[in-house]
Chains A and B, each alone.
Chain A
Amino acid sequence: MNLIKRYFAGRSEAQEEKLAWPEGEENSRTLFWRRFKRHKLAVAGLVVIGILTLCAIFAPFITAYKPTTVTDSFGAAPSLQHWLGTDQVGRDQLSRLIYAARVSLAVGLGSIVISAVIGTVLGLISGYFGGWIDSIIMRLTDIFMSFPYIMLILVVASIVGPGLTNIILILGVLGWPGVARLVRGNVLSVKESDYVKAGRVLGFGSVRIIFSHILPNVVAPILVYATSGVAGAILDEAALSFLGLGVQPPTPSWGNMLASAQSLTVLTSQPWLWVPPGVMIILIVLSINFVGDALRDALDPKNNK
Chain B
Amino acid sequence: MHNPQDPAVSLQPLLALENLKKYYPVRKGIINHTVDHVKAVDGVDLTIYPGETLGLVGESGSGKSTIAKLIVGLETPTEGRILFDGQDISRLSPREMIRLRSELQIVFQDPYSSLNPRKRVGDLLAEPLKVHRIVPAKDISREVDRLLELVGLPKNSRNRYPHEFSGGQRQRIGIARALSLKPRLIVCDEPVSALDVSIQAQILNLLKELQRELGLTYLFIAHGLGAVKYVSDRIAVMYSGRIVETGKVNEIFREPKHEYTRTLLDASPIADPRQRDKRRAFHSH
User: In the complex the two chains form, what is the Cα distance from A157 to B117 in whole Å?
Assistant: 44
User: Is A8 within 8 A of B230, CB to CB?
Assistant: yes
Task: Please choose the segment from A15-23, A78-86, A112-120 that sits at the chain B interface, where 4 or more of its residues have CB less than 8 A away.
Answer: A15-23
- B272 interface residue (CB < 8 Å to A): yes
User: Is A7 within 8 A of B273, CB to CB?
Assistant: yes
Q: What's the nearest-Cβ distance from chain B to residue A213, in Å?
A: 6
Residues of B within 8 A of A213 (CB): 116, 119
Q: What's the nearest-Cβ distance from chain B to residue A188, in Å?
A: 15
Residues of A within 8 A of B26 (CB): none
- B74 interface residue (CB < 8 Å to A): yes
Q: What's the nearest-Cβ distance from chain B to residue A22, in Å?
A: 10
Query: Chain A, interface size: which category?
Result: 20 to 34
- B11 interface residue (CB < 8 Å to A): no
Residues of A within 8 A of B116 (CB): 195, 199, 213, 216-217
Against A, the Cβ 8 Å flags (1 = close, 0 = not) of B110-154 are: 100111111100000001100110000000000000000000011
* In the complex with contacts A19-B169, A197-B74, A198-B108, A14-B198 CB distance below 8 A: yes
- A3 interface residue (CB < 8 Å to B): yes
* In the complex with contacts A3-B272, A201-B74, A19-B97 CB distance below 8 A: no
Q: How many of B's residues come within 8 Å of A, CB to CB? A: 49
Against B, the Cβ 8 Å flags (1 = close, 0 = not) of A172-214 are: 0000000000000000000001110111111111001000110
- In the complex formed, the residue of B with least CB distance to A18 is B166
User: In the complex the two chains form, what is the Cα distance from A25 to B201 in whole Å?
Assistant: 29
User: Is A194 within 8 A of B202, CB to CB?
Assistant: no
User: Is B153 within 8 A of A19, CB to CB?
Assistant: yes
* In the complex with contacts A193-B113, A202-B128, A11-B271 CB distance below 8 A: no
User: Is B108 within 8 A of A17, CB to CB?
Assistant: no
* In the complex with contacts A203-B98, A203-B131, A195-B199 CB distance below 8 A: no
Residues of A within 8 A of B181 (CB): 202-203
- B281 interface residue (CB < 8 Å to A): no
- In the complex formed, the residue of B with least CB distance to A21 is B164
User: In the complex the two chains form, what is the Cα distance from A217 to B277 in whole Å?
Assistant: 41
- B9 interface residue (CB < 8 Å to A): no
B106: which of A9, A198, A208 is its contact (CB, 8 Å)?
Answer: A198
Residues of A within 8 A of B201 (CB): 7-9, 11-12
Against B, the Cβ 8 Å flags (1 = close, 0 = not) of A158-183 are: 00000000000000000000000000
User: In the complex the two chains form, what is the Cα distance from A4 to B231 in whole Å?
Assistant: 11
User: Is B197 within 8 A of A11, CB to CB?
Assistant: yes
- In the complex formed, the residue of A with least CB distance to B118 is A216
- B204 interface residue (CB < 8 Å to A): yes
Residues of B within 8 A of A16 (CB): 202
Contacting residues of chain B (78-116) with chain A, CB-CB under 8 angstroms: 97-98, 101-102, 104-106, 108-110, 113-116
User: In the complex the two chains form, what is the Cα distance from A204 to B272 in whole Å?
Assistant: 46
Among A1, A16, A202, A204, the most chain B Cβ lie within 10 Å of the Cβ of A202
Against B, the Cβ 8 Å flags (1 = close, 0 = not) of A252-281 are: 000000000000000000000000000000
Residues of A within 8 A of B106 (CB): 198, 201
* In the complex with contacts A195-B113, A195-B116, A202-B101 CB distance below 8 A: yes
- B177 interface residue (CB < 8 Å to A): yes
What residues of chain A have their CB less than 8 Å away from a CB belonging to chain B?
Answer: 1, 3-5, 7-9, 11-12, 14-17, 19, 21, 25, 28, 193-195, 197-205, 208, 212-213, 216-217
State the 7 A-B residue pairs at the shortest beta-carbon distance, nearest first.
A203-B101, A194-B114, A8-B201, A216-B118, A15-B198, A7-B273, A195-B116
What residues of chain B have their CB less than 8 Å away from a CB belonging to chain A?
Answer: 72-74, 97-98, 101-102, 104-106, 108-110, 113-119, 127-128, 131-132, 153-154, 157, 160-161, 164, 166, 168-169, 174, 177, 180-181, 197-199, 201-202, 204-205, 229-230, 271-273
